[in-house]
Structure 1
Amino acid sequence: MGEAGEEPVVDLRLDRAHSARIYDYFLGGRTNFAADREAARRILSVFPAAGVACRMNRAFMHRAVGHLAREGLTQFLDIGTGIPTSPNLHEIVQGIRPAARIVYTDNDPIVLAHAAALLRGRPEGRTAYVQADIAVPGSVLAAPELHATLDLRHPVALTLNALLHFIPDDGRDRAHAVVEGLKAALPGGSALVITHGTSDFSPLAMGRVTDIYARAGTPLQLRSAAEFHRFFDGWELLEPGVTLAHRWRPGRPGDPGLPTAAEAACYAAIARKP
């Protein structure tokens, strides 16, 4: 603890690889350190398309929230925000709906250290940051910052991008329970956006990636198409339904430069609540 009145010092453990900083490295960001870059190089040695997969996931997020904003949604709750990388969700959404309101949520002190970058939205709208743990959905839903920014009586777009594969089930189906708790709190007309890593197309390589994350202290549970589909139970999937991230309404269908299924290794979908 610091002196009276001072904020406590947060140990960011820069000597250990961290999933958010590894992701930042793959996106070409600058908030990563030697341990993160070394872990990223090990991942690339067993899965050379890792950077491509991360960029395809990010591009899907841009298309997804842009689509929902054009469809009229003006409230967004982004859980598992990660390190800010421009253009971020609020930049995409408020570029279409300047008065949109966005709440970012993460439990990571690394993200908290960069949260100011998440709050630079359009003056017509509003952005807020909540430090909370998705493993306890109530801590997210009860946050005063959330209720000061979003009105949960009206539709909300809930985005869970590249997050749920970091919630291992441990025999209790935890990830699906978390998502069901969040879905239940949202009114009709809300949207659910999820991306999730999978080993369906390259089990050997992705098994090795899982081992690398485990050695870095981050459990990783990749899920099958059927397991991914269950996250949307009771909601209406938008076309084309569950697919790979780069195949969800791509800007240039049939582009020969798009990755293979094994290279993308990430499912994506959007659903609306009836």
Structure 2
Amino acid sequence: MKNLILNNGNKIPIVGFGTYKSTEQEGIESVKTAISNGYSLIDTASKYGNEEAIGKGIKESGVLREDVYVTTKLWRENLGYESTKIEFEKSLKRLNLDYLDLYLIHWPANAKNYDNWQKTNADTWRAMEELQAAGKIKSIGVSNFFQEHLEALFLTANVIPAINQIEFHPGYWQQELVEFCKKQKIAVESWSPLARGKVFENEVLKEIANKHNKSVSQICLRWIIQHDVIVIPKSTSPKRIAENIDLFNFELNSLEMDLINKLPEMGFSGELPNNWPDRV
């Protein structure tokens, strides 16, 4: 498994396991299956309502704590200094862990929901910096932050975010934001890597998949990691879980990468950080 080195020197696997919608026993079993197939990065969030199941899955897998990389996220309605510390402890307890490898602000505060969104994000970040300094979190980062949110955060931050987890898939990959993050030494992580299933209908992707004797999902995931972007595909199917990590025995050439880069918009979730709670 290839690792990326974050801006604080910590390593993160470039392919991880997403757990959105994996709850209760299904969540436990999917995590165990993922770990047995070689995944060591497990991604969840307080909003998913499955932290307890994810924690049980990790425990039941028998893997050593230091051999698994666990991410969870602070929900956007719980931003602020005090609230961040309270919600972090709740997540840690539900996961049944002593520390987190990565903690993310799930969505930034915005002008529609906070009188002073910049201060709310700054206060949230200050709490996360303190939790990191106390050894409770190895790396801290953000999710769904645009350049404007990052630049506002930089004005008060002592720690540059290690990661920005964003919607990134063929047909919607936010190239300018990715380039900005990379210039700031912020790693990019992809959510919704298969464009909510829209990639499976695309003829260009099908043709490339046939050429490599791979699935369309493997082509999309390989395209993402060749952009040096971390990816966290989710599935509860043992066959798909195994397939989604089998990405290291082939490579897309520059022409194929370019063809996928230029695909027209598809599969965009409609979710934007300044529009919540509405979608576009």
TM-score range, shorter chain: 0.3 to 0.5
Q: TM-score, normalised by structure 1?
A: 0.38
